[in-house]
Structure 1
Amino acid sequence: MKRTEGVGCIAWGVEMRLPLILAGPIVRRATPEKVWVWLATRELLDPPHLMLFTNGNSPSSPGPVKASIEYYPVAVADNLWIYMLCAIPETPLDRGRTYFYDVRLNGTRPLFKSDDYRQFLLKGNRLPTFMLGARGNNNLHALYGSCRKLHGPNPDMMKAAEEILQNASDDNRPQYFFMGGDQVYADDVDNQLLTLTRPLRDALYGGKRETIPGLSPAVLGDTIDRSEFLESFFTSTHMPHHLLTFAEYAATYIMAWNGDLWDPLLKAGRFSDLGSADFSNRIIGQRVLDGAQGAKSARRVLANTICYMIFDDHEVTDDWFLNPEWQLNATKFDSGLRILTNGMAAYWAFQGWGNEPAAFDETYRATIGGFAESRGKGTQNAWSALIKTDWSFVAPTSPPAVFLDTRTKREASPTVSDIDRVGTRVIEGISLSTRRNKEAPRLLDGDERARLSGLIAKHATSGDPLIIVAAAPIFGFPPMEWVQRKIGGVSATTADLEGWSSNPRNFIDAFDLFLDAGSSPLIVLSGDVHYGFEVVGRISTTSHSVPFLQLCSSAMKNEVIGVDKFFFRIISLFGESVAAFGFWDLKENGKTDGPIAYTATNDNANDFFNRRYKSSPYYLMQTQFIKRSGRRSVKQLIERQNNLGELVVRGQQVSHRHWYPASSSGFSARSFKNWNTGSWPIADMVGAIKSIFGR
């Protein structure tokens, strides 16, 4: 196909021309047997071949890897094609070795121009690179993060990720990037940013505007407050410029991952000097400029690490599928259903497809692509396909990483007994808690728990580590969760009662899933909460126990500021570094959703439950929070700045650190914390539990 010079669209009297490559390349699912690369283009390409090389820096002898190729294009707009490119080597690739890749049209002509390479190559390289996890079992080096809002507070930690990659040697480079949710923000959008993307949005559909059923076309204006038109079915507290159309969602992803597209937009109209003093909101302007620089870093990072991604809620809308009631209300409105479908279709095209490309057959691709390209035809069919999709998946790393969908497979968890309604009270001298807000969902329904159990059983090995990627921390920061529960008594959406602790039944679900795996340790990576922390702990029952690490990195570009940041500092002073809780699963008459009683463990409490609930399943959770190195007080247990997590697993050794902004132009890391699976700092309490219960 003949390459054209670009497709133009006029906005503010200025014409924007779309480049051929809109976003990417991004290395997605990769194993020694098969490598997938994602790409977004302006038009259908001549057959693109993904080429692999063992020595991509030698122009005379690039060392091609013999491989068969596959490619799958999907048109999602007039001028937007999403590609999954695949290379299947004749001989499996070596782990721990750097490979280079390129895309050639018909296997001969380069797709990328010299200016394209400039935008995504690491210094010193002629081609983009990737590396599979190093040789040997349990050998992994990964970056992870979440919550990247383009106009969020500076700096964008994608710049830190690039700095790490640029400075790393081959034997010390991160091979993977685990993206844990809120890769873009669809609800909390600054109006200047929404206006900035208008030429791109219009160009994707060749100037043809989308409409949303039930909403006047005027609502799609850049400056009108959209909140009042959405509050009947959405519950976000930041909706004045909520994304509505597929083009708006798609443009936001493209802007988040291709910083060079910002340049013509920034030069257009009144955005010629976004950060100048006369800009209507200079602080936001500077943050948007930082987002543009972060997007340039993001393109290099995603092109040179193997990336796996899972949604949280802001990719679609805040509180998305908070609980079954929320879902029923939002989808009964035609406008609500269309917006949700737009958001999820964009997630599939830009994120979900690459996690497990083979899971989406031609019919699925045609359904979602046809919906998006037609600007909304077949909404119900597309929505049905999207909502029935199993979004949880296992990344083929070593140790394996299980990414949890804790949003689309939720179920109600009603109170069922007097003990479940009491909140906290004293019974026979023991302070007993059951605190279950009726609005708080069970994050994994029965079908999803069964499916995850099968996945974990298939991929986990007893005695070896297992990584779980969950959007929100499973083992969170107790003082903050206590505040959330108190606020939740007034308003579930204000408190954002979607964490695991908001419904104690979620803890039991997690315990049941992970204990049987026998992993050592369980490593949980999370985000969502806009602060970072590290927890070492152990889950125990009367028969066995599992050591765990809860590692949280949040946010990449959305740290808490102002009064809220001061509140975070104060609340962190109330955290205890060591805690232990006992949980009793009080199944009533064989019901699987009975109440959960829990309390701080002590001899009196154990004696009470031994007498009253001896036949009920018992779980013990012990946690120890790690002090943030560099803090002046031992009780400063959370990282309040923008941050990026780094995880290294080498056999029995597990290491972790947070990168954070150390100055206006550089980044530093809290020193590596190291744990060894053979000498876990939290003792195994199985023997003690058996002695307490006499079994």
Structure 2
Amino acid sequence: MELPILLSGPIIRKVDPTQVYIWITTSKDFHIEADLYQIGNQTNKGDKQLQVRTKLKSVRLGKQLFVHLVHITPSQENLPVDQLLGYNLFFTRGSNRYDLNSLGLLSPDNPNSIIYGDFSYPTFYINSKAESTILYGSCRKLHGKGQDALAKADEMIAQKPLDKEARPSSLYMLGDQIYADDVADPIFPIIQEMSHQLIGDEQEDLSIVEPSLKRSSLKQRITKIQGRQFIVEQLCKFTSSNAYNHLMTFGEYATMYLLSWSPVLWQAAKEENVLYTFEEAYQNNLVHFTFPKKATSLKEHHDEYLQRKDRYHEQLLDINQFQQSVAKVRRLLANIPTYMIFDDHDITDDWNISLEWKKQVHTAPLGRHTIANGLAAYWAFQGWGNDPSRFDQTFITAMKQYFKGFHVGTPAYKYWLQTLEEFQSWHFTAPTTPLTLFLDTRTLREYDSTSKHVKWMNLIKETAKTPKLIGEKGWELVDQTLQDSGWNKGEPLIIASPAPLYGIGLIESFFKNNIYPFRALGVPVHYKLDFEAWKYNIEGFSSFLHHLKEWKPSECIILSGDVHYASNVKADVEINKEHLTIYQLTSSPMKNMSFEGLFGSLLKLIVWITTLRQKGKTVNKYYDDQNHILKESDLSHQSGNVVWKEKISYQSLEHGTIIETANNLGLLTRTNKAIQNMLLLDSNEQYGRFESLPLKKKEDC
């Protein structure tokens, strides 16, 4: 099958007055050049072509898969700021030449068009003003419930594409851009087929990585729907409970990204007739059953058949809904500078959640291989465009050499694996106004091997501590990155942390005090519920505050996702006689509502109690040098000296609650006086608005 020329993109990545990066994937190797225009108005009057130079970096990922970074720089002066810029791309291969227009993407009549209104080109702008508007969020699962919040953002821009006062200048994707460990049944055959088309026969042989896969029983089930849970648990040593269709090969990870960001492979799948009904998948023997269809297990097989069928049909409805809006998401990404950082699901659920997990997976060749594939795909589809300078030629050469043939066990393979495992520069700064520091809270962790006592009823057991999300060595790397960015102490700073520094205290305390102790009895709740908030390791939380104290930002905004609800928290912190005001804004999920069933009802009850207790109030807490968090009533008999104290207040939405659990995307509007956080919602309301947060003046800090 010959795939379409453009597979995904274009996506606007890093931009500043000196350069623009555009990311794109194609099915053939092209030389790509770009034109850049200063946009006059929406009626195409006054568009001015700018004098620019184009450099291209390309990597062959597979037989029909090439990833490109188009680097555009001005020939003389800097690029215009605070003005709409448009672009076109030109693809040359031999005597064949195409551009975005000839490929149909600049036609307003094409449902897959990437332009807004009557513009001739996709557009964006480089913001230089203190006032800024930023979209941010996380957690986008293809078969997640509800509408895609990214599509809501596209619809918002489409209403007033000329209005730069309201139009966001950047989009921050804060983790779980894909769910590698939770793949819907109906798209598993699509991933299998399209992965082979993209990569070709060169796709890696997993049985060389893990010889057990040569056994006929495992060899059959690894390619079948719902066939991978046992393999992932036993051979990868992963702990995801939804790993029935877990991505494993590089081609599978790559295909998932293409399905997430573009309608192209969806159309190809329909043309190849690989978007099956359950009955078709069953007839083609594509579904794994614990109880095969034999005379001795007809009853068990029938019951399992009905369970598989119900799950498949439900997910197919959600997938069909996703397809209807993916073209809007592609248009959004083509018209806004976008920065991305991973969380666990981009690789696998529970990634590096504990030292025990890390050691077990590292000793499992198939586990190491799968994580490396996930990281390589993250680099190619997300990380490379954040700040290309962080990936030197040595890194890119390691990727290229392995992608040439995916030969497992060769020196190129071992070097590729080592390069990914030892790389420590996934964190980065984005040249936004203010500057944004993106934190890597997955590979820079620090683990404490000493045990702590956990009390449950009248029992006291020992269990491993939760990790510091960034360890001492990690903070040194982050400090150096911030220093190298040109940011100066005392300037405003935005920090993108996948996990919130400040969540909703009552929810975190409920889990820590009432759920986490079950781990002492051998229940793996830390894997089931992801105990990874900053405050679950108070030393790690405290180190974050100490770094903020050293940086002394005149204004500190932390943007986060992960927790599947949206909230606004303001924290006034006093640490070593220094005062900090922290604004924690959280938006999640984009498309993966989780407050369902019994567990969801429990969380909603906690939310209701939290709202009643905390609305309009502040919470005062203290931390001493004995690693204790204290309430005000505890101060009279404290055993140590107070290291820092905090006053926390929760902002309410217009309808009264302090959190939003529907699919949402945060829309931060920052002026020199206040922060306004609005949510683009998956509901008829369209928007949710938090109370405005007034900013302190620099002299007040």
How much does 1:386 deviate?
Answer: 1.8
The reply on whether 1:557 has 2:582 as its aligned counterpart is no
C-alpha spacing 1:376/1:607, structure 2 compared with 1 (3 Å): farther
How much does 1:198 deviate?
Answer: 2.9
Match of 2:116 in 1: 122
The reply on whether 1:50 has 2:34 as its aligned counterpart is yes
Q: Is the contact between residue 652 and residue 690 of structure 2 (CA under 8 Å) also seen in structure 1? A: no
How much does 1:354 deviate?
Answer: 0.5
Aligned pairs for 1:26-425 (under 5 A) are 26-45=11-30, 47-55=31-39, 62-89=47-74, 90-105=76-91, 109-112=97-100, 113-117=102-106, 118=110, 119=112, 120-133=114-127, 135-136=128-129, 138-168=130-160, 169-207=163-201, 209-212=203-206, 213-214=209-210, 215-216=213-214, 217-232=219-234, 233-266=237-270, 268-269=272-273, 271=275, 281-377=312-408, 378-387=412-421, 388-415=423-450, 421=453
Q: Is the contact between residue 450 and residue 465 of structure 2 (CA under 8 Å) also seen in structure 1? A: no
Amino acid at match of 1:580: N
Aligned pairs for 1:535-614 (under 5 A) are 535-560=569-594, 561-575=596-610, 576-577=613-614, 578-586=618-626, 596-602=627-633, 605-609=634-638, 612-614=639-641
Question: Secondary structure of 1:149's partner?
Answer: coil
Match of 1:510 among 527, 534, 544: 544
Amino acid at match of 2:635: N
Range that drifts further, 492-501 or 244-253: 492-501
How far does the alpha carbon of each residue in 1:108-162 deviate from its partner, in whole angstroms, 9 at most, with x for none? 95432242334322222211111111x43x3321101100000110211121111
C-alpha spacing 1:275/1:220, structure 2 compared with 1 (3 Å): closer
Match of 2:674 among 653, 660, 685: 653
Amino acid at match of 2:529: A
Question: Secondary structure of 1:247's partner?
Answer: helix
C-alpha spacing 1:674/1:382, structure 2 compared with 1 (3 Å): same
Q: Is the contact between residue 92 and residue 98 of structure 2 (CA under 8 Å) also seen in structure 1? A: no
Q: Is the contact between residue 649 and residue 655 of structure 1 (CA under 8 Å) also seen in structure 2? A: yes
Match of 1:453 among 451, 476, 479: 479
Match of 1:429 in 2: none
How much does 1:453 deviate?
Answer: 2.6
How far does the alpha carbon of each residue in 1:280-322 deviate from its partner, in whole angstroms, 9 at most, with x for none? 7433112101221232121111100000000000011001111
For 1:514 and 1:36, how far apart are their aligned partners in 2?
Answer: 30
How much does 1:275 deviate?
Answer: 13
C-alpha spacing 1:59/1:273, structure 2 compared with 1 (3 Å): farther
Match of 2:515 in 1: 487
C-alpha spacing 1:574/1:265, structure 2 compared with 1 (3 Å): same
Match of 2:287 in 1: none
For 2:79 and 2:370, how far apart are their aligned partners in 1?
Answer: 42
The reply on whether 1:529 has 2:533 as its aligned counterpart is no
Range that drifts further, 437-446 or 670-679: 670-679
Match of 1:638 in 2: 659
Match of 1:475 in 2: 502
For 1:481 and 1:100, how far apart are their aligned partners in 2?
Answer: 45
C-alpha spacing 1:78/1:661, structure 2 compared with 1 (3 Å): same
For 2:462 and 2:555, how far apart are their aligned partners in 1?
Answer: 29
Question: Secondary structure of 1:197's partner?
Answer: helix
C-alpha spacing 1:195/1:544, structure 2 compared with 1 (3 Å): same
C-alpha spacing 1:441/1:653, structure 2 compared with 1 (3 Å): same
Question: Secondary structure of 1:18's partner?
Answer: coil
Task: Please list every run of 5 or more consecutive structure 2 residues that lacks an aligned counterpart in the other structure.
Answer: 281-308
How far does the alpha carbon of each residue in 1:464-508 deviate from its partner, in whole angstroms, 9 at most, with x for none? 431111111111112221233232222321231222111111211
Match of 1:3 in 2: none
For 1:130 and 1:179, how far apart are their aligned partners in 2?
Answer: 17
How far does the alpha carbon of each residue in 1:16-70 deviate from its partner, in whole angstroms, 9 at most, with x for none? x41111111001010000110101111110x211221113878797422112221
Q: Is the contact between residue 662 and residue 668 of structure 1 (CA under 8 Å) also seen in structure 2? A: yes
For 1:523 and 1:599, how far apart are their aligned partners in 2?
Answer: 25
How much does 1:237 deviate?
Answer: 1.1
Aligned pairs for 1:666-677 (under 5 A) are 668-671=686-689, 673-677=691-695
TM-score by length of 1: 0.85
C-alpha spacing 1:405/1:280, structure 2 compared with 1 (3 Å): closer
Range that drifts further, 553-562 or 453-462: 453-462
Q: Is the contact between residue 78 and residue 373 of structure 1 (CA under 8 Å) also seen in structure 2? A: no
How much does 1:613 deviate?
Answer: 2.2
Q: Is the contact between residue 436 and residue 504 of structure 1 (CA under 8 Å) also seen in structure 2? A: no
Q: Is the contact between residue 434 and residue 492 of structure 2 (CA under 8 Å) also seen in structure 1? A: yes
Match of 1:4 in 2: none
Range that drifts further, 210-219 or 197-206: 210-219
Question: Secondary structure of 1:321's partner?
Answer: coil
TM-score by length of 2: 0.84
How much does 1:279 deviate?
Answer: 8.8
For 1:437 and 1:156, how far apart are their aligned partners in 2?
Answer: 39
Task: Please list every run of 5 or more consecutive structure 1 residues that lacks an aligned counterpart in the other structure.
Answer: 1-7, 9-16, 426-434, 587-595, 687-695
Match of 2:292 in 1: none
Match of 2:301 in 1: none
For 2:50 and 2:353, how far apart are their aligned partners in 1?
Answer: 47
Amino acid at match of 1:653: A
Range that drifts further, 532-541 or 669-678: 669-678
For 1:503 and 1:265, how far apart are their aligned partners in 2?
Answer: 45
How much does 1:374 deviate?
Answer: 2.0
C-alpha spacing 1:659/1:98, structure 2 compared with 1 (3 Å): same
Amino acid at match of 1:579: V
How much does 1:669 deviate?
Answer: 1.1
Question: Secondary structure of 2:260's partner?
Answer: helix
Amino acid at match of 1:104: F
C-alpha spacing 1:37/1:274, structure 2 compared with 1 (3 Å): farther
C-alpha spacing 1:61/1:472, structure 2 compared with 1 (3 Å): same
Question: Secondary structure of 2:434's partner?
Answer: coil
Q: Is the contact between residue 39 and residue 83 of structure 2 (CA under 8 Å) also seen in structure 1? A: no
Question: Secondary structure of 1:269's partner?
Answer: coil
Question: Secondary structure of 1:573's partner?
Answer: helix
How far does the alpha carbon of each residue in 1:590-637 deviate from its partner, in whole angstroms, 9 at most, with x for none? xxxxxx1111124xx33333xx423xx611122111122224xxxx32
Question: Secondary structure of 2:53's partner?
Answer: strand
Range that drifts further, 455-464 or 62-71: 455-464
Match of 2:644 in 1: 619
Range that drifts further, 352-361 or 651-660: 651-660
Amino acid at match of 1:26: I
